[in-house]
């Protein structure tokens, strides 16, 4: 009988644990999560968007696993009677330059097999989003929103039902490959500590855990926070689905957008700015986390190249009104809307020594140990497909 350990109780860790027991029903499996509940970090602090696969280079791991992940996620939600709101998404071009970039995104989306993608002019946009304005738009009618924390809990229920053991409140300090497997060092200590195979889905701590196994220091995790604001109820009717900007290639993130949630709320965000702590959801500052950022040479190279971005994003940190100003450039009727903060998400962004942000998923395997080093958006969307990919590699 093969013994497995999975590190991390987010959506990816729970998806991997479930997939292991689906493929090896007789296995012994233990999932370790350092918090006292599941989906405590990225899986529980996000926009809830099920990404259709619009942006990603055709043939990339992201593109392939995103499209497969959408199919699996939709099927899982329907089967478990979980919310899956296929509200659709529009990317809006505000000028001729953005229109040109948008056409390139549409071509990429079609190459990725995203269904229903369509370019429209102002009249076509008005049919889908009557209050939105722009010179052109791309429609993605199958883009959806879900509750990823609820999905994580449902995946964990399947793990328990299949005989898996979930240990909450158990922090994994190290994963150490040895002659006959992988030793997992935890606090509090558990039995067994030696497993035949281990999969680490440690998110914000993925680089630290990788180093305990003798892994490379590169890439390092640099945490960026994103703040979301809820738009008051009097203005929630102004959009039917999701409204996104056309990404600017000069900036490393997508930009602020309007997002419909499964509970009917309308939010705007996020910005993207260096977080003072890897888990600083309330604005906390961690000297250890900041010191690691300061010691990473890639951060300073990244910062030097993106100073205009930092200045722009700082404006949003200091003034919520910038969020509303940006949103009104797409939906002018939001004039006078009131914003209420609804919490931060923190992105576990992998960065190389030369200051590049890793765009694709990065999964490393060293014998019986698999470590997810980078799973940014659409990581949650693709979680069930990433789980298939990882478990197939375990043999």
33 or 270: which carries more pLDDT confidence? 33
Looking at the DSSP assignment, which residues form a beta bridge with residue 226? Answer: 345
pLDDT score recorded for residue 188: 92
Q: Distance between CA atoms of 229 and 66, rounded to whole angstroms?
A: 27
List, by residue range, all CATH 3.50.50.60 domains of the chain. 3-47+149-219+358-394
pLDDT per residue as tens digits for the range 133-157: 999 999 999 999 999 999 999 999 9
Contacts (Cβ under 8 Å, ≥6 apart) of 3: 27, 28, 29, 30, 181, 192, 194, 195, 196, 197
Structural contact between residues 205 and 185, judged by C-beta atoms closer than 8 angstroms = no
pLDDT tens readout for residues 235-278: 999 999 999 999 887 666 777 899 999 999 999 988 888 999 99
Query: Tell me, what's the pLDDT at 311?
Result: 62
Give residue 313's pLDDT band: very low, low, confident or very high (50, 70, 90): low
Please state, for a pLDDT cut of 90, what percent of the chain lies above it. 85
Confidence of residue 191 (pLDDT cuts 50, 70, 90): confident
d(CA 11, CA 39): 6
**CATH T-level topology, domain 3-47+149-219+358-394:** FAD/NAD(P)-binding domain (3.50.50)
β partners of residue 178? 181
β-bridge pairing 266-269 and 362-366 = unpaired
Share of the chain above pLDDT 70, in %: 97
**Cα 17 to Cα 382: distance, rounded to the nearest angstrom:** 15
**What's residue 286's pLDDT?**
97
Summarize the confidence of residues 325-329 as an average pLDDT.
92
pTM: 0.95
Mean model confidence pLDDT for the chain: 94
Q: Is 11 a residue whose pLDDT tops 90?
A: yes
**pLDDT tens track for 195-239:** 999 999 999 999 999 999 998 999 999 999 988 999 999 999 999
How far is Cα 194 from Cα 133, in angstroms, rounded to an integer?
Answer: 59
Confidence tier at 178 by pLDDT (50, 70, 90) = very high
- CATH domain 86-144+222-351 topology: D-Amino Acid Oxidase; Chain A, domain 2 (3.30.9)
pLDDT band at 343 (very low <50, low <70, confident <90, very high): confident
**Does the pLDDT at position 119 exceed 90?**
yes
Contact between residue 373 and residue 219 where contact means Cβ atoms under 8 Å apart: yes
From 60, 86, 63, 62, select the one nearest 73 (Cα to Cα). 86
pLDDT score at 312: 66
Tell me the per-residue pLDDT of 359-395, one tens digit each, with 9 for 90 and over: 899 999 999 999 999 999 999 999 999 999 999 999 7
Tell me, what's the pLDDT at 301?
Answer: 94
Q: Where in the chain is the domain with CATH 3.30.9.10?
A: 86-144+222-351
Asked which of 11-15, 269-273, 344-348 is least confident by mean pLDDT, the reply is: 269-273
Pairing of strands 28-33, 3-7: parallel
Angle 389-393-395 from CA coordinates, rounded to 5°: 130
Q: Count H helices, E strands: the chain?
A: 11, 20
Q: Are the beta carbons of 20 and 391 closer than 8 angstroms?
A: yes
Residues in Cβ contact with 273 at an 8 Å cutoff, skipping those fewer than 6 apart = 224, 225, 310, 313, 314, 316, 317
Provide the sign of the torsion angle of the four alpha carbons 51, 56, 61, 64, taken in this order: positive
Interatomic CA distance for residues 111 and 7, integer angstroms: 35
Most distant CA pair in the chain, distance: 66
pLDDT at 89 over 90: yes
Q: State mean pLDDT over 166-188.
A: 95
Which distant-in-sequence residues (6+ apart) come within 8 Å of 369 by Cβ?
Answer: 175, 177, 182, 197, 198, 199, 200, 213
pLDDT of residue 323: 82
β-bridge partners, 167: 32
What is the token pair recorded at 242?
């999701």
**Token duo for residue 255:** 């930009």
């Amino acid at each position: 009988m093969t013994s497995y350990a999975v590190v991390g109780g987010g959506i990816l860790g729970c998806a991997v644990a479930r997939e292991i027991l689906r493929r090896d029903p007789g296995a012994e499996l233990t999932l370790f999560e350092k918090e006292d509940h599941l989906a405590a970090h990225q899986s529980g602090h996000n926009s809830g968007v099920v990404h259709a696969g619009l942006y990603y280079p055709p043939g990339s791991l992201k593109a392939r696993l995103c499209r497969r992940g959408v199919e699996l996620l939709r099927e899982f939600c329907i089967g478990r009677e979980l919310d899956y709101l296929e509200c659709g998404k529009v990317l809006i071009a505000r000028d001729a330059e953005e229109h040109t970039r948008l056409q390139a995104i549409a071509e990429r989306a079609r190459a990725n097999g995203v269904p229903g993608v369509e370019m429209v002019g102002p009249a076509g946009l008005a049919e889908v989003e009557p209050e939105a304005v722009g010179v052109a738009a791309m429609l993605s009618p199958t883009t959806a929103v879900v509750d990823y924390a609820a999905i994580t809990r449902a995946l964990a229920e399947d793990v328990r039902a299949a005989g898996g053991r979930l240990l909450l409140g158990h922090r994994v300090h190290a994963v150490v490959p040895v002659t006959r497997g992988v030793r997992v060092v935890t606090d509090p200590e558990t039995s067994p500590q030696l497993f035949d195979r281990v999969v680490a889905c440690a998110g914000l701590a993925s680089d630290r855990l990788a180093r305990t196994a003798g892994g490379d220091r590169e890439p390092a995790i640099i945490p960026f926070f994103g703040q979301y604001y809820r738009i008051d109820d009097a203005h929630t009717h102004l959009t039917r689905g999701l409204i996104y900007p056309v990404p600017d290639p000069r900036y490393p993130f997508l930009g602020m957008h309007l997002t419909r949630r499964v509970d009917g709320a309308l939010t705007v965000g996020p910005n993207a700015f260096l977080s003072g702590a890897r888990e600083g959801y309330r604005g906390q500052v961690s000297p250890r986390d900041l010191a690691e950022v300061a010691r990473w040479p890639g951060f300073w190279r990244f910062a030097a190249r993106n100073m205009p971005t930092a200045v722009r994003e700082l404006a949003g940190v200091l003034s919520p009104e910038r969020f509303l100003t940006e949103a009104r450039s797409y939906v002018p009727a939001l004039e006078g809307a009131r914003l209420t903060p609804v919490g931060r998400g923190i992105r576990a962004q992998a960065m190389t020594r030369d200051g590049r942000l890793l765009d694709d998923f990065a999964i490393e395997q060293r014998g019986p140990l698999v470590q997810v080093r980078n799973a940014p958006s659409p990581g949650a969307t693709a979680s069930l497909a990433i789980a298939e990919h990882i478990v197939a590699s375990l043999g």
